[in-house]
């Protein structure tokens, strides 16, 4: 057989197929789908029997509340608030216990090293650097995650997520994007990389890109603890976990508004176009298996967070310790860098150390807070830090934080840029340097603008 003859054969076949169905006159697809469906109907008619109606139509009853004109939006807000409240309130105690335990461990380690006559830098590098950073990540991250994820999974298994998309679709339509973007955002709560992957459910490339570029505005699990801790700081002494919950919910809502606004701008400028067709199936509610959800997501999450903490936080702790302890001209590298970044930080309502923590936190958002604490502690006098009160003393007492600093850091954390993993995922999904770069630059631009405006306005008005 000579080369190419097979392809020629195919071309002839195509020509013949074309003659058999000239200009698509058979309306082939329509006719075939109709035939298949009438056969499906026939089979179903023969094999499926319904013995009357179920006693209570739970789907209808639930949907009558969860998607109703009056209760649809309030119930969404309430559910969000309840989940965060359980997370914030419930995480307090285990966080404290973990911190106490882990920092007790730190002292014992130091004693052990002292007893072994290890050089001072060993204790500094391993205990004050690596171990302390790990301890922070674990005690701050773990409890909120262990509470948030089972709650979220419960809603997911019940079938609530498509209802969110159903309720919010009109907003997304007005922003020129796809209603399923709210599903990808829900995934983003867990992890922005997962959210970006989930964007594959959006058919139109334009809308998929918008969803990918804006997924970062949903705070992922790496940023939640930061937000929660800062919210706790803000309301300390004034209100309880209830107040912190309201702040966190407010921040999340602000993220959603930003998503819509940025999506709208994108669909009017860089990614111009009209919304594509939208169909969404609302599956029946299903009873979730509460026991299994709790055990699995705690177990799975726990191991996951611990592993990631070891992989990212340990080297980060080491780097910070080195930066804080290598001096150039009598001042540590860390202080040099922070001082250099300070004017920029101040402009945005923060300081050089915070900006530096965000920069070093690019590989994973969960280490931003530990890095900040470590760099503060490396320059301060405090050694132990095992409670929110201690954090308050460190931030407010020693580093001159005001409520504006906390607010700006929360905003910056919400908006800044996706973590390295997410950027890598965006690159894999879009196969484009340009969109990957924009995925970092657009949020960064938004974050800088928002923080700048907030900080300057507040200062102008003399509120802080």
Partner 1 sequence: MGLINQSCGIGAIKENFGKSQFSNADHVIALAGNPNTGKSTVFNALTGLNQHTGNWPGKTVLRAEGRYIHQGLIFKLIDLPGAYSLMANSMEEQVARDYLCFGRPDATVVVLDATCMERNLNLVLQVLEITSRVVICVNLVDEAERKKIQIDYHALAAELGVPVVPTAARDGVGLDKLVETVSGIATGRIETKPNVVRYKEEIEVAVRKLEPKIKKLIGEAFNARWVALRLLDKDQTVIAAVEQWLTRKDGVLTGMEGVVLA
Partner 2 sequence: MCVMENSQDDYPANKIIRLWDLPLGKSATVNSIQAEGITRRRMLDLGMVPGTIVEAIRVSPAGDPKAYRVRGAVIAFRKEEAHKILINFKGE
Task: Give the x-and-dash track for 391-430 against partner 1 (CB under 8 A).
Answer: ------------------------------x--xx--xx-
Nearer to partner 1, 33 or 78 (CB): 33
- Which of 94, 100, 157, 254 touches ligand GDP (CB under 6 A)? 157
Q: Residue 259 has which token pair?
A: 């998503």
What does 422-460 look like in DSSP terms, one character per residue?
A: HHHHHHHHH--HHHHHHHHHHHHHHHHHHHHHHHHHHHH
- Which of 72, 188, 222, 317 touches partner 2 (CB under 8 A)? 72
- Which of 64, 104, 292, 449 touches partner 1 (CB under 8 A)? 292
Number of residues that bind partner 2 (CB under 8 A): 33
Contact 288, 157 (CB under 8 A): yes
Chain positions 205 to 244 lying near partner 1, rule: CB under 8 A, are: 221
- Counting contacts by CB under 8 A, is residue 49 touching partner 1? yes
Which single residue is written with the structure tokens 């299903």? 286
- Which of 76, 102, 125, 157 touches partner 1 (CB under 8 A)? 157
- Counting contacts by CB under 6 A, is residue 59 touching ligand GDP? no
Minimal distance in Å, beta carbon 227 to ligand GDP? 28
- Counting contacts by CB under 6 A, is residue 286 touching ligand GDP? yes
Contact 133, 313 (CB under 8 A): yes
Measured in whole angstroms, how far is the alpha carbon of residue 192 from the centre of its chain? 5
Instruction: Please give the Cα distance from 360 to 374 (Å, whole number).
Output: 12
- Counting contacts by CB under 8 A, is residue 48 touching partner 1? yes
- Look at residue 5 and give the partner it binds from partner 1, partner 2, ligand GDP, none, a contact being a CB closer than 5 to 8 Å depending on partner kind: partner 1
- Counting contacts by CB under 8 A, is residue 149 touching partner 1? yes
Minimal distance in Å, beta carbon 8 to partner 1? 10
- Backbone phi, psi, residue 175, to 5°: -80, 0
**Which residues make beta-bridge pairs with 274?**
none
- Counting contacts by CB under 8 A, is residue 290 touching partner 1? no
- Counting contacts by CB under 8 A, is residue 167 touching partner 2? yes
Instruction: Please give the Cα distance from 259 to 106 (Å, whole number).
Output: 42
Instruction: Please give the Cα distance from 214 to 438 (Å, whole number).
Output: 10
Instruction: Please give the Cα distance from 20 to 17 (Å, whole number).
Output: 5
Nearer to partner 1, 174 or 428 (CB): 428
Contact 271, 211 (CB under 8 A): no
Nearer to partner 1, 265 or 298 (CB): 298
Chain positions 10 to 49 lying near partner 2, rule: CB under 8 A, are: 29-30, 33-34, 37-38, 41
Q: Residue 314 has which token pair?
A: 């340990």
Nearest to 231 by CA among 218, 216, 250, 217: 250
Minimal distance in Å, beta carbon 101 to partner 1? 25
Contact 306, 138 (CB under 8 A): yes
HSE-CB at 373 with a 13 A cutoff on CA atoms is 30
- Counting contacts by CB under 8 A, is residue 360 touching partner 1? no
| Binding interface with partner 2 (CB under 8 A) | 29-30, 33-34, 37-38, 41, 63-64, 67-70, 72-73, 166-171, 173, 179, 203, 275, 277-284
Binding residues vs ligand GDP (CB under 6 A):
157, 286
């Amino acid at each position: 057989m000579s080369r190419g003859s097979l392809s020629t054969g195919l071309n002839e076949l195509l020509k013949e197929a074309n003659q058999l169905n000239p200009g698509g006159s058979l309306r082939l697809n329509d006719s075939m789908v109709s035939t298949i469906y009438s056969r499906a109907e026939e089979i179903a008619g023969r094999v499926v029997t319904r013995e009357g109606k179920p006693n209570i139509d739970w789907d209808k009853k639930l949907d009558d509340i969860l998607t109703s004109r009056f209760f649809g939006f309030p119930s969404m807000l309430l559910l969000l608030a309840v989940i965060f409240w359980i997370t914030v309130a419930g995480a307090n105690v285990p966080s404290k216990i973990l911190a106490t335990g882990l920092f007790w461990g730190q002292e014992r380690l130091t004693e052990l090293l002292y007893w072994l006559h290890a050089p001072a830098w060993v204790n500094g590098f391993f205990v004050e650097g690596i171990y302390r950073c790990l301890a922070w990540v674990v005690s701050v991250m773990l409890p909120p995650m262990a509470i948030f994820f089972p709650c979220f999974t419960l809603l997911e298994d019940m079938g609530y997520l498509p209802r969110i998309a159903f309720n919010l679709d009109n907003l997304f339509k007005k922003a020129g994007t796809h209603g399923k973007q709210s599903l990808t955002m829900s995934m983003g709560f867990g992890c922005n990389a997962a959210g970006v992957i989930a964007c594959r459910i959006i058919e139109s490339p334009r809308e998929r890109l918008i969803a990918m570029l804006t997924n970062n505005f949903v705070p992922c699990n790496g940023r939640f603890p930061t937000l929660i801790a800062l919210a706790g700081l803000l309301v300390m002494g004034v209100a309880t976990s209830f107040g912190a919950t309201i702040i966190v919910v407010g921040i999340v809502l602000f993220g959603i508004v930003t998503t819509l606004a940025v999506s709208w701008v994108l669909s009017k400028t860089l990614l111009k176009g009209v919304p594509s067709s939208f169909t969404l199936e609302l599956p029946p509610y299903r009873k979730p298996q509460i026991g299994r959800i709790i055990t699995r997501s705690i177990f799975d999450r726990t191991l996951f967070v611990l592993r990631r903490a070891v992989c990212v936080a340990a080297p980060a702790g080491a780097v910070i310790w080195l930066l804080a302890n290598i001096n150039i001209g009598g001042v540590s590298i860390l202080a040099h860098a922070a001082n250099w970044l300070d004017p920029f930080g101040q402009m945005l309502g923060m300081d050089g150390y915070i900006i530096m923590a965000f920069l070093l936190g690019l590989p994973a958002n969960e280490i931003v807070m530990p890095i900040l604490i470590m760099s503060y502690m490396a320059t301060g006098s405090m050694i132990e830090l095992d409670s929110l009160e201690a954090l308050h003393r460190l931030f407010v007492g020693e580093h001159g934080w005001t409520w504006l600093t906390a607010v700006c850091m929360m905003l910056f954390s919400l908006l800044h840029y996706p973590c390295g993993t997410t950027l890598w995922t965006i690159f894999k999904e879009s196969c484009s340097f340009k969109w990957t770069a924009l995925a970092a630059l657009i949020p960064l631009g938004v974050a800088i603008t928002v923080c700048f405006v907030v900080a300057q306005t507040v200062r102008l008005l003399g509120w802080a």
